[in-house]
Amino acid sequence: MARVLVVGSSNTDMVARAERIPAPGETVLGGGFVRTAGGKGANQAVAAARLGADVDFVARVGQDVFGEAAVNDIAATGVNTEYVFRDCEAPSGVALIFVDARGQNSIIVAPGANARLSPDDVESARPAFERADVVVLQFETPLETAGRAIDLAKELGRRIVLNPAPVPSLPAGFLSGIDVLTPNEVEAAMLLGWPLDESFDGVKAARALLNLGVGAAVVTLGPKGAVAAFGGQTYLIPPIRVSPIDTTAAGDCFTGALAVALAEGRDLAEACQFATFAAALSVTRFGAQASLPTRAEVERFMAETT
């Protein structure tokens, strides 16, 4: 079985739907509201577990009702929560998410205990690193913690998938040695210092990201698919046509699925194709973790679509 370790955030998502996302200073009457488990790290861990991987999760939550519910929800999907630490000095993280009629979203995150995930927590989880095939990271926890996780994964010879979201100010060379970088087009532009306008070219961006020292760069382009670059090769991954309802966890689904496929020994192009199908299926459902598909659902979707 593929073994995936995710180090990252756990949040409680407060999701409100409206015809459009409010402008600054504006109040918009909306429709439905739901509270659900989220956080990029937790989303990616749950995505990987539902797709058939043996998953460990390293995170920090508060000693509150949100933290208890989040851990229970994650554990119910089969994720090992042994290394989800309870913090008595900070609340659990919360994300406020607004979703418009087109399924696009705007998010504010109050990190809470996520901001206290420490390098020592990472070190405590060494046994999980030792049994992992692929280690997955994001940037909703402190940069020094992500850095320690990267160093430990490298020390143990584990493959590293980094979803650089949200993009922080990175020291020179921080991304060197990352096996697979998975930004969306906004994050790719920020990492490269490029404007995100009509001149943005996903193929050029993926190739340029290799200059940061990563082994491969996979830039997700939403409804336009994705592009992967590694060595002297570039692959265009065509989009899967669906009618989106909510894109909240699409990128997390993609990263989790990619990690599973790589852990199973698939090559990068095949792994990206699998991840694209999983992410496309996720946007046809409402919510973050609630939208993440199972392996059987993705395989059936692939058979019906191809």
**Strand residues in 179-281 grouped as ranges (E):** 180-181, 216-220, 226-230, 233-237
Which phi and psi angles does 61 have, rounded to 5°? -130, 165
Q: What's the Cα-to-Cα distance from 301 to each of 259, 282, 293, rounded to whole Å?
A: 19, 11, 10
CB under 8 Å to 287, separation ≥6 — which residues?
13, 15, 34, 36, 246, 248, 249
Burial classification of residue 285, based on how many CB atoms lie within 10 Å of its CB (0-12 exposed, 13-18 middle, 19 or more buried): middle
Contacts of 236 (CB under 8 A, 6+ apart): 203, 225, 226, 227
Q: Which of 73, 87, 179, 252 is catalytic?
A: 252
Cα distance from N-terminal residue to C-terminal residue, the chain: 26
- Is 252 a known active-site residue? yes
Looking at the annotation, which residues are catalytic? 252
